[in-house]
Amino acid sequence: MLTRQLLWLLVALATGCVTAPPEPPANGASVPSAQAAESPSPQSPPEPPPVQEPLVAPPAAPAPLTEYRLVLSRWDALPGWQTDNLREAWPAFIASCMALRSSPEWQGVCWAATEVALHDSNALRGFFETRFQPWSVHSADDSAQGLVTGYYEPLLRGSRTRTDRYRFALYAAPDDLVTVELSALFPELEGKRVRGRLDGRRLVPYYTREEIDGAKVPLRGRELYWVDDAVELFFLHIQGSGRIRLDSGETVRVGYADHNGHPYRSIGKILVERGEIAPEKASMQSIQAWARKNPGLLPALLAGNPAYVFFRQLPEGVSGPIGSLGVALTAERSIAVDPRYVPLGAPVYLATTRPSSQEPLNRLVLAQDTGSAIKGAVRADFFWGFGTEAGQLAGKMRQSGRMWVLLPRDFIPAAK
């Protein structure tokens, strides 16, 4: 029989995570429980990579979180729960456990997961029903319905050197990018940060997209790769990770490293506001089609989004893009969430529909990523995986959906 340590190692290798297994709870110890509340909120999640925020001086106090509720639910309220193939979600769940192994609230359930029969979907279902409780996520207006979009891992063509074909640069994080944790100066701004650069003794906003792509080339020398398509490069910024196929035949993986600190603005929304694209037809594909027809107008459009993402090369052997939780994402079983409302790493049952259809898409997923455009309690970005087909699905996905966050039974959300 496999020992628990060996089982964790095998699962870790399979999911691209090679950190140590969690320590079991101390003998006789249990996770402290709290009183259930009428309007509960989740415990603070692990800190995700920073979202895009403008540089402000002096900083204003943050606005309070929009009110929301987690409502205790029942397993039979989750549509399709009894038929979901939980074996497909299990590697993603174990990856979350690897990241949450130091959290007391998760140690018990994650340690118990090492004893579950992985080949038996009913045993997996019994594990979740015994160890977890489903909480329905409700937004400020008490609606349980929210927006579900999609994202994916694109493939670009590129080179390590600039050529006439490969003219558009992916940049590594620049050396002069300064990040300031505001809580060190203003305790009330816990978790808030700004980015900028030093101009003499002053901290000023970092270069915008327009400035970075401009004639002065302020990031010269920080090029990681060069690619052949400015539109595909822009969408790589939006997705946050991707692959680049080089002329040599080699394929490398790149992922999010940092950003310039400017707020994200949707170029799709800009095109809709201009009347270039009908609102009901706005999608990644329609934006790409507009760009192909209007190459001369493309630089000005892209400059409308001042935010800019910097990349790093990911190590060989990872099974997927690395999300904000620090683990490899699993196609069709990982989502991005707003971590102010849904704890990073938590299992989430998602009930929505497939892109541009009414076909149900109901399944267990894991909250393993964040995004600057993913804001709100009932809000998810569904990771479709790698390649053209995944991109087609992700680009068309703008569906209504519900979310149930699954929390360990001893992890009762505290009242706000």
C-alpha to C-alpha distance for 262 and 276, rounded to whole angstroms: 25
Q: Which two tokens stand for residue 362?
A: 């109901």
Task: Using alpha carbons, select from 41, 51, 339, 58 the residue that is nearest to residue 192.
Answer: 51
C-alpha to C-alpha distance for 315 and 333, rounded to whole angstroms: 22
Please indicate, yes or no, whether residues 213 and 171 belong to a single structural domain of this protein. Answer: yes
Q: Given 284, 313, 342, which residue is the final one in a domain?
A: 313
Residue 280 lies in a domain: yes
Helix (H) or strand (E) holding 159: strand 155-159
Residue 159 lies in a domain: yes
CA 376 to chain centre: 14
- Sign of the Cα torsion 65, 67, 73, 78 reads negative
Q: Given 313, 342, 373, which residue is the final one in a domain?
A: 313
Please indicate, yes or no, whether residues 249 and 398 belong to a single structural domain of this protein. Answer: no
C-alpha to C-alpha distance for 107 and 100, rounded to whole angstroms: 8
Please indicate, yes or no, whether residues 52 and 127 belong to a single structural domain of this protein. Answer: yes
Q: Given 256, 288, 313, which residue is the final one in a domain?
A: 313
Is there a contact between 339 and 48 (Cβ–Cβ < 8 Å)? yes
Please indicate, yes or no, whether residues 286 and 235 belong to a single structural domain of this protein. Answer: yes
Is there a contact between 384 and 393 (Cβ–Cβ < 8 Å)? yes
Residue 401 lies in a domain: yes
C-alpha to C-alpha distance for 384 and 150, rounded to whole angstroms: 7
Please indicate, yes or no, whether residues 267 and 343 belong to a single structural domain of this protein. Answer: no
Please indicate, yes or no, whether residues 232 and 107 belong to a single structural domain of this protein. Answer: no
CA 291 to chain centre: 26
Residue 396 lies in a domain: yes
Non-local CB neighbours of 280 within 8 Å, separated by 6+ positions: none
For helices 86-99 and 121-131, give the axis angle rounded to 10 degrees.
50
Residue 202 CB-density burial (10 A; 0-12 exposed, 13-18 middle, 19+ buried): exposed
Domain that holds residue 271: 153-313
Q: Which two tokens stand for residue 269?
A: 């929304």
C-beta neighbour count of 283 within 10 angstroms: 19
Please indicate, yes or no, whether residues 162 and 145 belong to a single structural domain of this protein. Answer: no
Residue 266: which CATH number? 2.40.240.50
Please indicate, yes or no, whether residues 83 and 136 belong to a single structural domain of this protein. Answer: yes
C-beta neighbour count of 178 within 10 angstroms: 16
Q: Which two tokens stand for residue 369?
A: 């990523």
* pLDDT computed for residue 170 by the predictor: 97
Residue 78: which CATH number? 2.40.40.10
Please indicate, yes or no, whether residues 166 and 309 belong to a single structural domain of this protein. Answer: yes
* pLDDT computed for residue 67 by the predictor: 64
Segment-wise mean pLDDT, segments of 10 residues, the chain, 416 residues: 42 40 33 29 37 33 58 96 96 96 91 87 94 95 94 97 97 96 86 91 96 96 97 94 94 95 93 93 90 94 96 91 95 96 96 96 97 91 96 94 95 59
Residue whose token pair is 């670009």: 156
189 DSSP assignment: G
What is the 3-state composition of the chain as percent helix, strand, coil, each rounded to the nearest 5? 25, 25, 45
Residue 279 CB-density burial (10 A; 0-12 exposed, 13-18 middle, 19+ buried): exposed
Residue 121 lies in a domain: yes
160 DSSP assignment: S
Please indicate, yes or no, whether residues 215 and 345 belong to a single structural domain of this protein. Answer: no
C-beta neighbour count of 70 within 10 angstroms: 23
Q: Which two tokens stand for residue 304?
A: 């409308």
Please indicate, yes or no, whether residues 44 and 140 belong to a single structural domain of this protein. Answer: yes
Looking at the 3D structure of the chain, how many domains does it have?
A: 2
* pLDDT computed for residue 184 by the predictor: 85
Residue 30 lies in a domain: no
Q: Cα torsion at 320, 321, 327, 330 (round to 10°)?
A: -50
* pLDDT computed for residue 58 by the predictor: 33
Q: How many residues make up the chain in this entry?
A: 416
146 phi and psi angles, rounded to 5 deg: -150, -170
Is there a contact between 138 and 377 (Cβ–Cβ < 8 Å)? yes
Is there a contact between 401 and 377 (Cβ–Cβ < 8 Å)? no
Residue 132 lies in a domain: yes
Please indicate, yes or no, whether residues 176 and 309 belong to a single structural domain of this protein. Answer: yes
